[in-house]
Amino acid sequence: MVRSRIKIVKDVLLNFTRSRWTSSIYNVDEKFAKRKTIISSQTISDTEHQRRYAEAIRKMKRMGMDSFQNWFNKSKDTNQSIVRGYWDFTFHILTSKVCEYIKNPEEKTALEIGYGGGRILNAACSYFKEVIGIDIHEEQETVEAFLRSQGKTNFRLIKISGRTMGVDSRSIDFIYSFIVLQHLSLFDILVSYIKETYRCLKPGGIAKLYFARYSNLNLLDQFRYFIQGYKEIPEASINYKSLVVRASKLKKLCKKVGFRVIEVVGSYKRVPDGYPRIKGGAGWYNFIKRTLEKILDEFPYLTVDKYEQW
Ligand SMILES: C[S@@+](CC[C@H](N)C(=O)[O-])C[C@H]1O[C@@H](n2cnc3c(N)ncnc32)[C@H](O)[C@@H]1O
C-alpha cells in the first residue's frame, strides 16, 4: 500500500519534471522544443565561465587590494579578510571530524579549490607543510605578493581551466573548498571535480567540500528538479549561486566515485559574529578516499592493475 503510494508520487514528480523539458506528454512539441533551445543556448561554456570570472576579478584588482579581497568574501578591508580567513579555516574546515583523520599535518599537503584572494590559503599555510591553490582567475601574481606579505612561502598557485586540478594523482592529503562549488555553471563540472578530488587524493586522504543547499530553491523548483537532483542557474550573476544539488544526489555521487561520506553538516554565516544564530545556505560534506586494501577487500575481482586504471 505504502509502496504503491510512493510509486504514484514518484511517477507524478517524474512526469511533471519531464513535461517541463520535453514535448511528449502534452503534445505541445513546438512550444517545449523552443523552450529547450532557449535553455540550452543559455548554458555557459567552461571558457565563457572562466572569462567572466577572470574579467570581474581583474577589474577588482585594478581598484586596489581592499576591493580585490572584498570581492571574494565581502570583507570591509584586507585586514578583515586575513582575520576572517583564519576563522573560516579553523571553524569551518578544520573541524573535529577532519582532525580525526589528519595526523602529522606538518608533513602533509593540502589543496584548495578556488582560492580567490588567498585569505583561507594564507591560514592553511600555517597548518600544513605545503598548500596548493587552484583557481580559474589570472591574478596569481597579486595573490602571491599578498601571501608573501604575510610571510608565507610554502604554497603553489595554479591557474586551471575550471574542471581539472592540474596536479599528480594521489599526491594530496587534504582537499577543501569554501564558497566555490555553488558557482559552477554545470552539474557535469561538479562531477568532474568530485572525480578529480578522488584522483588527486592519496588513499585514506580526506576532502571537505562546501555545496549550496537544495533548499535555496523556491518550493516549486524544489518540486520540479527533485528527481534530477540539482538545478543549474545559467542566468545567475557572477559570484551568485549558479548550482544547487540535493544532499542525497551528492552522497550517491561521492560513494559511486569511491568515497566514504563521513559527515554532512550545515554552514553558518559570518562566524564568529553571527554564530550560531545565522545559518548559511550551504552544507559541508566530508568524505574520505577509501584505502586500496579496503577497496580490494570490497571488490575481490579488482586487481591492483585494474585499480590503477580505475
Ligand atoms: C566567492 S570566491 C571564494 C574564494 C575563497 N574560497 C574564499 O573563501 O575567500 C569564489 C572563487 O571561485 C572561483 N571559481 C569559480 N569557478 C571556478 C571553477 N570552475 N574552478 C575553480 N575555481 C572557480 C572564482 O574564481 C573565485 O575565486
Shared-domain flag, residues 115 and 96: yes
Q: Which domain holds residue 169?
A: 44-309
Residue 81: CB within 6 Å of ligand 1? no
**pLDDT at residue 293, as a whole number:** 55
Average pLDDT over residues 139-143: 98
Give me 4's grid cell: 504503491
pLDDT at position 21 over 50: no
Shared-domain flag, residues 79 and 210: yes
Shared-domain flag, residues 178 and 280: yes
Shared-domain flag, residues 156 and 260: yes
Where residue 91 sits, what CATH number does that domain have? 3.40.50.150
Count of domains in the chain?
Answer: 2
Shared-domain flag, residues 55 and 33: no
Angle ∠(92,94,95) on CA atoms, nearest 5: 75
Cα distance between residue 174 and residue 185, in whole Å:
25
> How many A from CA of 113 to the centre of ligand 1?
7
State what percent of residues in the chain have pLDDT above 90: 66
Cα distance between residue 140 and residue 118, in whole Å:
10
pLDDT in tens, 244-297: 999 999 999 998 998 989 888 888 988 999 898 898 888 888 888 876 555 555
**pLDDT at residue 173, as a whole number:** 96
**Alpha-helical regions (H) of 22-115:** 29-42, 46-62, 65-73, 78-87, 96-101
**pLDDT at residue 124, as a whole number:** 98
Shared-domain flag, residues 49 and 189: yes
Asked if residues 32 and 21 have their Cβ atoms less than 8 Å apart, the reply is yes
Residue 239: CB within 6 Å of ligand 1? yes
Cα distance between residue 80 and residue 73, in whole Å:
10
pLDDT at position 32 over 50: no
> How many A from CA of 19 to the centre of ligand 1?
35
Residue 123: CB within 6 Å of ligand 1? no
pLDDT in tens, 183-228: 999 999 999 999 999 999 998 899 999 999 899 899 999 999 999 9
Residue 118: CB within 6 Å of ligand 1? no
**pLDDT at residue 283, as a whole number:** 84
Asked if residues 111 and 131 have their Cβ atoms less than 8 Å apart, the reply is yes
The strand order across the sheet containing 279-289 reads 155-159, 130-135, 109-113, 172-177, 201-212, 279-289, 259-268
Q: What amino acid occupies position 77?
A: D
pLDDT at position 93 over 70: yes
Angle ∠(300,306,310) on CA atoms, nearest 5: 105
**pLDDT at residue 290, as a whole number:** 72
Confidence category of residue 84, pLDDT binned at 50, 70, 90: very high
Shared-domain flag, residues 203 and 193: yes
pLDDT at position 81 over 50: yes
Cα distance between residue 55 and residue 63, in whole Å:
13
Shared-domain flag, residues 268 and 152: yes
Instruction: Give the closest residue to 80 by CA, choosing from 90, 69, 91.
Output: 69
Shared-domain flag, residues 25 and 165: no
Average pLDDT over residues 128-132: 98
Shared-domain flag, residues 9 and 122: no
Residue 113: CB within 6 Å of ligand 1? yes
Q: Crossing angle for the helix pair 78-87 and 65-73, nearest 10 degrees?
A: 40
Shared-domain flag, residues 81 and 107: yes
pLDDT at position 28 over 70: no
Q: Which residues contact 45 (CB under 8 A, 6 or more apart)?
A: none
pLDDT at position 170 over 60: yes
Q: Please name the residue that has the C-alpha cell 591560514.
A: 123
pLDDT at position 20 over 60: no
Single pTM value for the model: 0.84
Shared-domain flag, residues 76 and 197: yes
> For 156, how many CA atoms within 13 A lie in the half-sphere containing its CB?
12
Mutate to test the pocket of ligand 1, among 180, 182, 189 (most ligand atoms within 8 A of CB): 180
Where is average pLDDT lowest: 3-7, 93-97, 169-173, 264-268?
Answer: 3-7
